[in-house]
């Protein structure tokens, strides 16, 4: 009996991937290219829009090392969701006091790991999680996460996180009784279009602050969360408009003695820097519509097209030159043998009518929430690769 040799492993994502070149001389696809100068610029713009606010980069948006180093160089701090992200951050920035553990859903063992590594800021939104933190994170600052409506966001965070005001009051009181410094955090939903979305949670924060003061304390920090949008297909206000509206709301609700402020931006710092190049595999007519199948899909990085929530800007190219001329709408789909691997059916991207297999599409503002969403090898397709320039 012969034993089959082991299958060669599907290559894992390489953050410093060499630019692989295909037989025609063009870089192989799909491939995300992240422009580090744009990351730096996005950080500076947001910091200018939110003066005095400590920016904790939400590492989940793009944890690649070159991105972390650029943001470290700019003075960023960190928002993490797991021990894996804590370790990734500590590998580039050994100071754990700059980390905030923003995930409200944590295993006890993960809280213990974070605390042992020196993390002293954690989010919480219910009594059972607070029990764990009281046990395993002595002395830590506990940020109680309040719910928001998510209105105005393309990627609302729904009912999964946060608590109502009454619960928040109880959690704050319990944490204070156990000797913890406390804060408030919230997230208005990702790819948020409405610059006034911070107003309501800041009003709630002000009421909860009164309760904290009644306990003889004050808020150690107010966390404005993330949500700042990238330049996707639908126009959004620029970052300075968000900054103006948010700082005005902070002054209105928390002034004149404003507590220390932080934010947890993810998307806005890295999305615009990323361009995802993909190859057209097939163009076909079905049921009266033109279907364009490309070599990246829902399972290789574009998970945020679920429900057609994030609508990317897309341009078409043929051997390095833009494809111009007449366009018409298409259904855009990924390459796998899975029927849910359809990116856009309702939102109708306009693509050139002479688009053909072998042409390239560029998916813009794709630097956030793509590489890490990519499956390890669904249908045998390799994970989305990322290069930096
Ligand atoms: C706790 C937390 N903080 C920050 C972020 C970053 O949000 P955004 O990318 O919209 O800025 C997220 C995103 O899911 C999050 O869950």
Q: What's the structural domain count of the chain?
A: 2
Counting residues of the chain whose pLDDT is more than 70, the rounded percentage is 93
Q: Is the pLDDT of residue 18 over 80?
A: no
Closest protein CA for atom 7 of ligand 1: 226
Which phi and psi angles does 234 have, rounded to 5°? -85, 135
Q: Is 227 in the pocket of ligand 1 (CB under 6 A)?
A: yes
Q: What is the pLDDT of residue 218?
A: 98
Mean pLDDT of 256-262: 98
Mutate to test the pocket of ligand 1, among 53, 58, 154, 223 (most ligand atoms within 8 A of CB): 58
Q: Is 383 in the pocket of ligand 1 (CB under 6 A)?
A: no
3-class SS of residue 113: helix
Residue 145 CA: nearest ligand 1 atom is 1
Given 269, 284, 306, which residue is the final one in a domain? 269
Do 55 and 94 lie in a common domain?
Answer: yes
Q: What is the C-alpha separation between 144 and 181, in angstroms, rounded?
A: 11
Q: b/e string for 45-68 if b means 16 or more Cβ within 10 A?
A: bbbebbeebbbbbbbbbbbbebbb
Do 198 and 113 lie in a common domain?
Answer: yes
C-beta of residue 330 within 8 angstroms of C-beta of residue 294 = no
Confirm whether 17 is domain-assigned: no
Span from the CA of 319 to the centroid of ligand 1 (angstroms): 37
Tokens of 330: 């298409």
3-class SS of residue 389: coil
Do 260 and 345 lie in a common domain?
Answer: no
Q: What is the C-alpha separation between 225 and 57, in angstroms, rounded?
A: 10
Do 264 and 285 lie in a common domain?
Answer: no
Do 205 and 81 lie in a common domain?
Answer: yes
Domain with 325 in it? 273-388
Confirm whether 26 is domain-assigned: no
Q: What is the pLDDT of residue 26?
A: 58
Mean pLDDT of 25-46: 92
Q: Is 228 in the pocket of ligand 1 (CB under 6 A)?
A: yes
Mean pLDDT score of the chain: 93
3-state helix, strand, coil in the chain (%, to 5): 30, 25, 45
Q: What is the pLDDT of residue 13?
A: 41
Between 27 and 33, whose confidence is greater? Answer: 33
Alpha helices for 95-238 (secondary structure H): 108-116, 127-136, 165-177, 199-214
Cβ atoms within 10 Å, residue 219: 25
Residue 369 CA: nearest ligand 1 atom is 9
Regarding pTM above 0.75, the answer is yes
Do 287 and 361 lie in a common domain?
Answer: yes
* CATH number of the CATH domain containing 355: 2.40.37.10
Q: Is 79 in the pocket of ligand 1 (CB under 6 A)?
A: yes
Give Cβ neighbours of residue 351 (< 8 Å, ≥ 6 apart): 292, 314, 316, 327, 328, 329, 330, 332, 361
3-class SS of residue 145: strand
Q: What is the pLDDT of residue 158?
A: 74
Do 263 and 290 lie in a common domain?
Answer: no
Given 269, 296, 316, which residue is the final one in a domain? 269
Do 50 and 83 lie in a common domain?
Answer: yes
Span from the CA of 49 to the centroid of ligand 1 (angstroms): 18
Each residue's pLDDT tens digit, 328-383: 999 999 999 999 999 999 998 999 999 999 999 999 999 999 999 999 999 999 99
Mean pLDDT of 85-105: 98
Do 177 and 102 lie in a common domain?
Answer: yes
Confirm whether 179 is domain-assigned: yes
Q: Is 61 in the pocket of ligand 1 (CB under 6 A)?
A: yes
Do 310 and 241 lie in a common domain?
Answer: no
Cα distances (Å, whole numbers) of residue 136 to 109, 121, 149, 246, 367? 9, 12, 31, 34, 35
Q: b/e string for 93-103 if b means 16 or more Cβ within 10 A?
A: beebebbbbbb
Do 66 and 167 lie in a common domain?
Answer: yes
Closest protein CA for atom 14 of ligand 1: 190
Do 379 and 258 lie in a common domain?
Answer: no
Mean pLDDT of 89-118: 98
Given 229, 250, 269, which residue is the final one in a domain? 269
* CATH number of the CATH domain containing 120: 3.20.20.10
Confirm whether 146 is domain-assigned: yes
Q: Is the pLDDT of residue 320 over 90?
A: no
Q: Is the pLDDT of residue 24 over 80?
A: no
Q: Is the pLDDT of residue 153 over 60?
A: yes
Count of positions (residues) in the chain:
389
Confirm whether 305 is domain-assigned: yes
Q: Is 58 in the pocket of ligand 1 (CB under 6 A)?
A: yes
Of 319, 331, 197, 184, the C-alpha closest to 261 is 184
Q: Is 150 in the pocket of ligand 1 (CB under 6 A)?
A: no
């Amino acid at each position: 009996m012969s034993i089959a040799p082991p299958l060669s492993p599907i290559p894992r994502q390489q953050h410093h991937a060499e630019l692989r070149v295909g037989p025609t001389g063009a870089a192989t696809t799909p491939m995300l290219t992240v422009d580090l100068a744009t990351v730096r610029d996005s950080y500076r713009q947001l910091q200018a829009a939110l003066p005095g606010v400590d920016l904790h980069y939400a590492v989940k948006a793009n944890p690649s090392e070159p991105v972390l180093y650029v943001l470290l160089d700019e003075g960023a701090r960190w928002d993490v969701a797991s021990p894996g992200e804590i370790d990734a951050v500590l590998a580039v920035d050994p100071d754990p006091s700059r980390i905030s553990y923003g995930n409200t859903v944590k295993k006890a063992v993960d809280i213990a790991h974070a605390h042992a590594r020196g993390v002293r800021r954690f989010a919480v939104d219910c009594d059972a999680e607070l029990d764990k933190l009281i046990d395993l994170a002595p002395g830590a600052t506990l940020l109680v996460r309040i719910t928001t409506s998510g209105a105005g966001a393309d990627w609302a965070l729904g009912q999964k996180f946060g608590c109502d005001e009454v619960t928040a009051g109880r959690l704050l009181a319990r944490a204070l009784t156990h000797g913890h410094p406390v804060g408030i955090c919230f997230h208005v939903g990702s790819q948020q279009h409405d610059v006034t979305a911070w107003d309501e949670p800041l009003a709630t924060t002000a009421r909860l602050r009164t309760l904290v003061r009644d306990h003889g304390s004050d808020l150690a920090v107010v966390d404005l969360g993330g949500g700042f949008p990238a330049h996707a297909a639908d126009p959004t206000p620029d970052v300075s408009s968000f900054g103006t509206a948010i700082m005005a709301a902070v002054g209105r609700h928390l002034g004149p003695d404003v507590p220390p402020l932080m934010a947890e931006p993810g998307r806005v710092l890295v999305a615009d820097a990323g361009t995802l190049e993909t190859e057209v595999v097939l163009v076909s007519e079905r049921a009266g519509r033109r279907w364009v199948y490309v070599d990246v899909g829902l399972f290789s990085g574009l998970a945020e097209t679920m429900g057609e929530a994030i609508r990317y800007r897309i341009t078409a190219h043929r051997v390095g030159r833009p494809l111009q001329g007449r366009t018409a709408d298409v259904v855009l789909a990924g390459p796998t043998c899975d029927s849910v691997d359809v990116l856009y059916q309702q939102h109708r991207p306009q693509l050139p009518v002479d688009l053909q297999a072998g042409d390239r599409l560029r998916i813009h503002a794709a630097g956030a929430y793509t590489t890490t969403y990519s499956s390890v090898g669904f249908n045998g397709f390799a994970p989305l690769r990322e290069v930096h320039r």
